[in-house]
A = this chain, B = another copy of it.
Amino acid sequence: MNDFIKSIKKRDPAAKSTLSIILTYPGVKAVFFHQIANFFHLAGFDLIARIISQTSRFFTGIEIHPGAKIGKNLFIDHGMGVVIGETSEIGNDVTIYHAVTLGGISPSIDSERQRHEKRHPTIGNDVVIGSGAQIIGPVKVGSGSRIAANAVVVNDVPEDSTMVGVPAKAIKTGNKGKFRPYGVDQEVIDEK
């Protein structure tokens, strides 16, 4: 928990104090609620799990399906409008801004069959997903990648890539050590 708070301070220049993070960060509450919802989901109490998830949505504006698998230190900043689907998998130290979707392709060709299939994205470690980005379908986003604000990702993303646009295109590979993720890399855009 202490590590988690420290990692948030590192990631958010507006984070003033530990007390402020615990009391006033909706993303921290949403992840906490999810751990409870996920516990009931794994125990087979689907309805209870979903009621907890929806209660969390009401208080935080963040909707995480109880079935989603989430790694360590997920930081959802601001968070309003985030939707994380049932079969999503998220690695460690991922940062997600508000209005991001990890969604399924839908309406399904065959809902009854799809019910037991992987329909949502798999996100690697150290990924940053900008506000309004839509990641749709059972795609993989490689570790260290950055998804720009409002980008739409419908195909796999290699490691350490920066994706921008609708649908998203790689404007950069080899992000290692670089940090311009929330928006997009300006120099590359200027070139276009």
A residues at B contact (CB < 8 Å): 9-17, 19-20, 23-24, 26, 46-47, 50-51, 53-54, 57-59, 61, 63, 65, 77-78, 80-81, 83, 85-86, 95, 97-99, 101, 103-109, 111, 114-115, 117, 119, 128, 130-132, 134, 136-137, 148-152, 154-155, 164-167, 179-184, 186, 189-190
Contacts and interface: CB of A to CB of B under 8 A. Distances in A.
A192 to B, nearest CB: 9
Query: Which of A58, A77, A150: most chain B CB closer than 10 A?
Result: A150
Q: Can you tell how many copies of this chain the complex includes? A: 3
B78 A17 contact: no
Nearest to A190: B155
B107 A95 contact: yes
A134 B129 CA distance: 13
Contact of A16 (B10, B46, B114, B131): B46
